[in-house]
Chains A and B, each alone.
Chain A
Amino acid sequence: MQLNPRQRYRLLRKLARHRSFRIGFIIIAIMVLAALLAPIIAQYDPIAMRIRFRFRPPQAAFPFGTDQFGRDVFSRVVYGARLSLWIGLATALISGLIGAFLGVLSAQYRKFDALLMRVMDALMAVPAILLAIGLTAALGPHTSSVIIALSVAYIPRTARIVRGSALVTRELEFIEAARVAGASGLRIMLRHLLPNAMGPLLVQSTFVFAYAILAEAALSFLGVGPSPPTPSWGNIISEGRDHSVQAWWIMLFPGIAISLATLGMNLLGDGLRDVLDPRLKVET
């Protein structure tokens, strides 16, 4: 969206007043802060095993209790936040950048569009999580594999959104004016199509972030994500599952963390969408 400074200011003010956005923003801000300050907040090494302290319920020394190896669950959850938020951010950024690039390219060059959209449809032929599982399996249980896999799963959806917006922009008269004035395809794409697609792109990216958090948790729960002992919310739950009756805290807190993080991002996305354009479509 090409906005002059005053319009931008008005938009930001509207955003700041939007209740969902505010709540989401606060939640995410707290989590990001906690993740960044992890070495300071976490009192214990998340990987160090201290069998003497196994299965302690939540108490002053261990706010979220300890697990079967005596590891402090709170520290693990905080470090897990680092991982999950990082994966969410990386996925949203990568899929956003590549998706925007492909979407704008598709809208501008019809021949490329025909080919690309078929490939995108093929990638969307399976549910995102299945594609991610397959790719992570091929690439190995590393953080980078998860990021790549989730990005690949979400690039087609983002590209579709950007393409949709760019196609609409292309029909506007000023594009024809620009072309007549001699603007090259590249210039049209960069100066006109892309800025106008920023709104839908931003909204889609926040929802991609939210979904990536959930997907990463599911992947690590299944055992195809970052492997133990690296704490990830998903694998903390998976490890704590066998003890879920007597040591319910191992499993409860990471789950709450996942839900809060996803909820926060969803609220942010809702707020953005309401402010930018209530009728925006989101692809999942």
Chain B
Amino acid sequence: MLRGVIYRLLQAIPVVVIFAVLVFMLLQLLPGDPAVAIAGSEATPEAIDRIRTQLGLDRPLLEQLLSWFNRLAHGDFGKSLILNQSVVSAVVERLPVTLSLAFLSLMITLPAGISLGVLAAYWRNTWLDSFVMVTALLGVSMPSFWLGILSVILFSVTLGWLPPAGYVPITQGLWPWFSALIQPAVVLALFQIGFLARITRSAMLDVLDQDFIRTARAKGVDEWHTITKHAFRNTLIPVVTVTGIIISLLIGGSVVVEQVFALPGIGRLIVQGILARDYPLVQGTMLIFGFSFVMINVLVDIVYMLVDPRVRFG
């Protein structure tokens, strides 16, 4: 088991390295001179040169790459041009917002998605199954930002129940924090729930068709235990592997949702950086994202190894 974990961690290293190189290359992708692109079209030649030396763009490519890795190893992810602070501190400031959103959303997604999928699978081909599946399909087809706007019109403007935008830290009270986040969290969760429900249903159907379920029923195990103890546990195995993807979709979706609900989170930071052409910020944030995801996926794989004894690499 430990060998499997180590193997999995080692697998992650080349991925992280290649990813860092790709993010480094992002700046080189810019059509024309990166320094000009960052400085803007009205900048004076002195300003352009200043940016060039500041970002080390005048040095040979290999030297840039090596110094890039050197800085990363020391935890220096760059400095934002517009915010005038280090990328790390900008991200850390906004981390609680995005984490709160993701956490709340996940707490909604997992129970809802899994139970809907299980219900649909157990009562397959009934109206419940059709209803759940149609709802799930709609969930994955509707754009989250649009739903967000509609939700704000309904719940904030018309009914006045919830605030339309902004983030309230939990230190100012549980209800204010919750009421500000619940709309974005639900909107974000809808896609995930649809996705998870479809996959869970499919996994559960596979499990229910298996012989060991028939054996359990024939043995006389009551239906409730057959489902919860035997079927459900085995359904969770493929669901765990999908969790990494769910988290990935969640963070990806939060980029848009944070914009709609004006939440000062990391997603919004990236968009602001892109629109302001603050490439160091964009690069630094993408790196942080990338590293976090690789780590999350490693963790998901480890949990998978814990849960399914058949899968122990190495």
Contacts and interface: CB of A to CB of B under 8 A. Distances in A.
Given A129-B252, A214-B143, A284-B249, A255 B150 contact: yes
B195 interface: yes
A248 B275 CA distance: 27
A266 B137 contact: yes
B221 interface: no
B162 interface: no
A251 B146 contact: yes
Interface in B145-189: 145-146, 149-150, 153, 157
A138 B29 contact: yes
A263 B139 CA distance: 9
A284 B244 CA distance: 11
A270 B137 CA distance: 10
Chain A interface size, as a band, is: 35 or more
A221 B145 contact: yes
A214 B142 CA distance: 8
A126 B143 contact: no
A119 B14 CA distance: 9
Interface stretch (B54-62, B72-80, B224-232, B287-295): B287-295
Contact of A138 (B26, B256, B289): B26
A234 B142 CA distance: 12
A217 B142 CA distance: 11
Interface in B13-28: 14-16, 18-19, 22, 26-27
A234 B138 CA distance: 18
Q: What does DSSP make chain B's interface, helix, strand, loop or mixed?
A: helix
A258 B146 contact: yes
Interface residues of B, number: 46
B278 to A, nearest CB: 10
A134 B153 contact: no
B313 to A, nearest CB: 15
A210 B138 CA distance: 12
Interface of A: 118-119, 121-123, 125-130, 133-135, 137-140, 210, 214, 217-218, 221-224, 234, 237, 241, 244-245, 248, 251-252, 254-255, 258-259, 262-263, 266-267, 270, 279, 283-284
Interface of B: 14-16, 18-19, 22, 26-27, 29-31, 137-138, 140-146, 149-150, 153, 157, 195, 206, 245, 248-249, 251-253, 255-256, 259, 270-271, 274-275, 277, 282, 286, 289-290, 293-294
21 contacts: A121-B18, A122-B16, A122-B19, A122-B22, A122-B290, A123-B19, A125-B19, A127-B251, A127-B293, A130-B251, A134-B26, A134-B270, A134-B286, A218-B143, A222-B255, A223-B275, A237-B143, A245-B157, A254-B146, A262-B142, A263-B141
Q: Which 3 residue pairs across A and B have the least CB separation, nearest first?
A: A127-B252, A255-B146, A122-B18
